[in-house]
Structure 1
Amino acid sequence: MPVPRAPEPFPPGEPSEADLLNAAQAGDSGAAHRLGRLYAQRGDRSAARHWWERAAGAGNIDSTYNLGIWHEKHGSLDEAISWYELAAGAGDAEAAVNLATLLLEQRGDVLGARQWFESAAGAGSRPAARRLALLCEDVGDAAAARDWHHRAASAGDLSSAHDLAFMSYATGDEGHARGWWEYAARGGHADAAYYLGRLLHADRDPEGAETLYRLAAKVDHPAAASQLGRLALARRDLRTARAWFERAAHFGRVEDQRMAGFVCVELEDPRAASHWFGRAAASGDPESAYNFGLLLIAEHNDLRGGQHWFRQAAMYGHQGAATELGTLESVIGNQTAESTRLTADQAAPAWDRPVEPELVARAELAVAAAGRRGGTVLRLADLTEILGTWDLLTRRLREPIDAIAWLTEQSGLHSGAVEHLSSVRMTLVRPGTAPWPTPSEVEHVLATSRQLRKRLGLS
């Protein structure tokens, strides 16, 4: 809720309350405005409204603005809009922003809101420029959105700089994306620092990326902590990796709870490993449930506990858990019909191959860019599998060759399906070449990826 506009403090020797009252009663609009603020501070809302109305009637714009706030706080929407319109019409930029916000959020009047945001932004209001940019994005006016974000960012709005970076990345302009992310990161915008790190990682600069991740992690950015954990793990610095993964895991990130569990196993700390696997398993992570079951049996000889978590993992299609469940129940002698079915009906193996870090970074940037402002929701695991599959299948081609024709010939799949996979893959690694894929496109391309791996013996 906006705050009523206060007059300047009384300097020594200025009129007392009684003097102000006399002056206001005699028609002094400035004195009436001061009285309204004085009574508002005391909690006498009726008296505040009375004097602000007297002052507004005499042309005091600050009182007109305050009356808009007064009615907004008291739920009188029509009255608030009327007072804001009077103040905004007289050139008050703050009133125009408040009016536009009410029209947009309470009445759904996009055209009216845009008009008043434009009025305020034209008068130099940075918040209005940002709100106008977001409104233009929401109605699909990308060119106007970019222009208003640029105005807001140039005036110091770090969030608009971050948005401009994403808009630039989505069109393939990585130079401008890098510049705006760097600008916002230097100003303390943690997400900008993180995504600039991901862009550097995608460009095979892990050292530069690490610097940005550390900048973001200083303000407890969990994804940045996770990336620092992965970089430390790649160097086999297990203790540092554990510290970063645990830092990220405390934010409830299941994948980092799982990674913390794996690192604790490497460090021969089964108690901590059980803690993290247990937390992730309780959140429905099948890999953690499987490993939690293994630890319960190996460290505590808890066969019943292991059986429970193997079953939980197997229900989500985890092959290893289904196999262990069948073996365990044959040993302890209480194999159930359900566990027999889980063992028999094992799903196709999930994608569990390592993927180059730069490809994972590209996938994450695509997910974030496509999903901005309520956009297309894509899954990081799906995009990683698509990029990882193409890399896996084509990395051995040592001479210039038509990869689509080769994969089509080797697999027997229709060339159109392989071309579609290639097109989506290109969009992810070279943004701007085509719109981001839709969820249905991703499903089709995933099916093609899995068929290719199966037919080429790489499942």
Structure 2
Amino acid sequence: MAWQGDVAAASVPAPRVGDEPELLAAAQAGDAYAAHRLGKLCAQHGDRAAAKHWWERAAAGGNIDSAYNLGIWHEKHGSLEDAVTWYEAAAGTGDAEAAANLATLLLEQHGDVESARYWYEIAAHAGSRTAARRLAQLCEDAGEIAPAREWHRQAAADGDVASAHDLGFLAYSAGDDEETVHWWEYAARGGHAESAHCMGLYLHASRDPEGAEAYYRLAARNEHPGAASRLGAIALSRGDLRTARAWFEMAGGAGRVDDQRMAGFVCVELGDCAAASHWFGRAAAGGDAESAFNYGLLLIAEFGDLAGGQHWFRQAALAGHHGAAVELGGLLSVAGELGEAQEWLSDPPPPAWGRPAEPELTASAELAAAATGRRGAVPLDLAELTEVLGTWDLVTRPLHDHSDVIGWLVERSGVHESAIEHLASVRSTLLRPGSAPWPSPGEIDHVLATARDLRHRLGVQ
């Protein structure tokens, strides 16, 4: 059933011109079906009050379509308790759409999860795709993953690509590669850009860059900024600066500060300092310390703007950027402001991790961040995950035999064995989900400290 004009039941034939007297006579004589059709005609003519009157007559006579339409009428007009009453009347007869609308109203307006779940189940069993998806989400929120997957499967089998996408993530988190690929491919073929992007990440993490690029392009055709960012990095790795610029600018235009910064770097390489200034400036204004630092360098080197350069160095230094603090100290020394210069130069912030990680590692980190950030949860920090994975890759690179990598790292660094084992365990989970639950933010903080200690002791940055 669906609204036509304001409300109407699709199963009821539309009244023809000239039907009014016939319908009116039948409705006044107590014909519930005629009263329903007359209400539909009034709705089409924009007479909502008359539509409500005749639907009430029809519903009193047992017409379920009118009960459903009255639920919609009252919901639209803010009479939510009356809407619940009429939806219940229709849903009680097995009407799937009424049950789904009732469940949504109870959930969103009353916070009644138990009752909403009951009516979603009624609607889902009656074939409502929307109800199956909402029920799956409620099960996910309750930690009931097995039933969540079943309800998502029902919705996905009925063409819901969002549920197919969710099934891909549930499978990915459980380490089920076959199901992951099946559902993300299914959703991507159905036009779901995020699934196409996730398939690209999955293939990149699996060391299939050509397959990954094909999916990134599919997602980018639907203007997915993350896919555009990945394509920018691929073009940059090939030395194709103009193509890289176009992709980074597309991603940066969607507000991604990392890609605004990358667009700035590429524009510098192309000799377009005005465009570089634009992108570094946007990212710096968005709080990106690295962009603020580079914006300051650009303003001084290309435009001779010492005051502007000093301003952005200070912003970056206050955000913890080591290079900006050193540059700021130098500028202040030249300007004769020796007191503040000494403050920055004597105790600059420590250098941050800036080494680019391998694409397959960043893809795994991005999938982990997305998987942990679903359903309103706070995702693990992508930069921190990338640093954890990149550090392990960096410090173990000289080792040819990885049979005792933990013992080798303990011997070389002096870091406690249990700390390195924890770092190895978290790394394994990030690269091979399903082997253990996703790490908590506290665990990431802990292993990140271990990673930084390892780099410091081994003298690698």
TM range (shorter): over 0.9
Checking the alignment, whether the CA contact within 8 Å between 1:36 and 1:51 is kept in structure 2 is yes
The separation in 2 between residues aligned to 1:183 and 1:335, in whole angstroms, is 64
Partner of 1:286: 289
Cα offset, 1:214, TM superposition: 0.9
Cα offset, 1:15, TM superposition: 5.7
The separation in 2 between residues aligned to 1:435 and 1:375, in whole angstroms, is 15
- Unmatched segments (≥5 aa) in structure 1: none
Which aligned pairs between 1:7-26 and structure 2 lie closer than 5 A? 8-10=12-14, 16-26=19-29
Partner of 1:239: 242
Checking the alignment, whether the CA contact within 8 Å between 2:14 and 2:37 is kept in structure 1 is no
Partner of 2:84: 81
Of 69, 72, 92 in structure 1, the residue corresponding to residue 72 of structure 2 is 69
The separation in 2 between residues aligned to 1:297 and 1:27, in whole angstroms, is 85
Partner of 2:348: 346
Partner of 1:396: 398
The separation in 2 between residues aligned to 1:374 and 1:420, in whole angstroms, is 27
The separation in 2 between residues aligned to 1:293 and 1:83, in whole angstroms, is 64
Of 452, 455, 459 in structure 2, the residue corresponding to residue 453 of structure 1 is 455
The separation in 2 between residues aligned to 1:284 and 1:78, in whole angstroms, is 47
Checking the alignment, whether the CA contact within 8 Å between 1:376 and 1:439 is kept in structure 2 is no
Q: CA-to-partner distance for each residue in 1:83-110, whole Å, 9 max, x for gaps?
A: 1111011111000001111111122222
The separation in 1 between residues aligned to 2:280 and 2:402, in whole angstroms, is 46
Worse-matched range after superposition: 289-298 or 87-96: 289-298
Partner of 1:156: 159
Of 90, 96, 100 in structure 2, the residue corresponding to residue 97 of structure 1 is 100
- Of all paired residues, the percent bearing the same amino acid is 66
Checking the alignment, whether the CA contact within 8 Å between 1:138 and 1:373 is kept in structure 2 is yes
Cα offset, 1:433, TM superposition: 0.7
Worse-matched range after superposition: 143-152 or 297-306: 297-306
The separation in 2 between residues aligned to 1:27 and 1:284, in whole angstroms, is 69
Give the aligned residue type for 1:137.
Answer: E
Of 192, 201, 210 in structure 2, the residue corresponding to residue 198 of structure 1 is 201
Equivalent position SS for 2:450: helix
* Change over 3 Å in CA distance of 1:85–1:49 after alignment to 2: same
Partner of 1:137: 140
Cα offset, 1:372, TM superposition: 0.6
* Change over 3 Å in CA distance of 1:11–1:104 after alignment to 2: closer
Equivalent position SS for 1:378: coil
Cα offset, 1:205, TM superposition: 1.1
Partner of 1:269: 272
Give the aligned residue type for 2:88.
Answer: E
Give the aligned residue type for 1:271.
Answer: A
The separation in 2 between residues aligned to 1:344 and 1:221, in whole angstroms, is 45
Q: CA-to-partner distance for each residue in 1:240-296, whole Å, 9 max, x for gaps?
A: 001111111111111111000100111111111111111111111111111111111
Q: CA-to-partner distance for each residue in 1:24-45, whole Å, 9 max, x for gaps?
A: 0111111101111222233333
Q: CA-to-partner distance for each residue in 1:364-386, whole Å, 9 max, x for gaps?
A: 00000111112342100000000
Of 403, 414, 435 in structure 2, the residue corresponding to residue 412 of structure 1 is 414
Cα offset, 1:6, TM superposition: 3.3
Equivalent position SS for 1:420: helix
Partner of 2:172: 169
Pairing 1:222–2:225 present? yes
* Change over 3 Å in CA distance of 1:10–1:109 after alignment to 2: closer
Give the aligned residue type for 2:240.
Answer: D
Cα offset, 1:390, TM superposition: 0.6
Cα offset, 1:80, TM superposition: 1.1
Checking the alignment, whether the CA contact within 8 Å between 2:325 and 2:349 is kept in structure 1 is no
The separation in 2 between residues aligned to 1:63 and 1:425, in whole angstroms, is 58
The separation in 1 between residues aligned to 2:254 and 2:363, in whole angstroms, is 21
The separation in 2 between residues aligned to 1:361 and 1:192, in whole angstroms, is 14
Of 298, 303, 323 in structure 2, the residue corresponding to residue 300 of structure 1 is 303
Partner of 1:40: 43
Equivalent position SS for 2:366: helix
Worse-matched range after superposition: 229-238 or 242-251: 242-251
The separation in 1 between residues aligned to 2:258 and 2:342, in whole angstroms, is 29
The separation in 2 between residues aligned to 1:160 and 1:59, in whole angstroms, is 36
Q: CA-to-partner distance for each residue in 1:374-423, whole Å, 9 max, x for gaps?
A: 23421000000000011111121112431112212222222111111111
Checking the alignment, whether the CA contact within 8 Å between 2:322 and 2:348 is kept in structure 1 is yes
Checking the alignment, whether the CA contact within 8 Å between 1:315 and 1:342 is kept in structure 2 is no
Cα offset, 1:446, TM superposition: 0.5
Cα offset, 1:320, TM superposition: 1.2
* Change over 3 Å in CA distance of 1:281–1:156 after alignment to 2: same
The separation in 2 between residues aligned to 1:242 and 1:400, in whole angstroms, is 39
Equivalent position SS for 2:271: coil
Aligned length: 456
Q: CA-to-partner distance for each residue in 1:210-255, whole Å, 9 max, x for gaps?
A: 1111111111111111111000000000010011111111111111
Partner of 1:381: 383
The separation in 1 between residues aligned to 2:219 and 2:438, in whole angstroms, is 27
Q: CA-to-partner distance for each residue in 1:311-341, whole Å, 9 max, x for gaps?
A: 111111211111111222222323452x432
Partner of 1:324: 327
Which aligned pairs between 1:117-136 and structure 2 lie closer than 5 A? 117-136=120-139
The separation in 1 between residues aligned to 2:127 and 2:48, in whole angstroms, is 32
Partner of 2:251: 248
Checking the alignment, whether the CA contact within 8 Å between 1:376 and 1:438 is kept in structure 2 is no
Tell me the TM-score normalised to structure 1 length: 0.96
Checking the alignment, whether the CA contact within 8 Å between 1:258 and 1:277 is kept in structure 2 is yes
The separation in 1 between residues aligned to 2:297 and 2:14, in whole angstroms, is 74
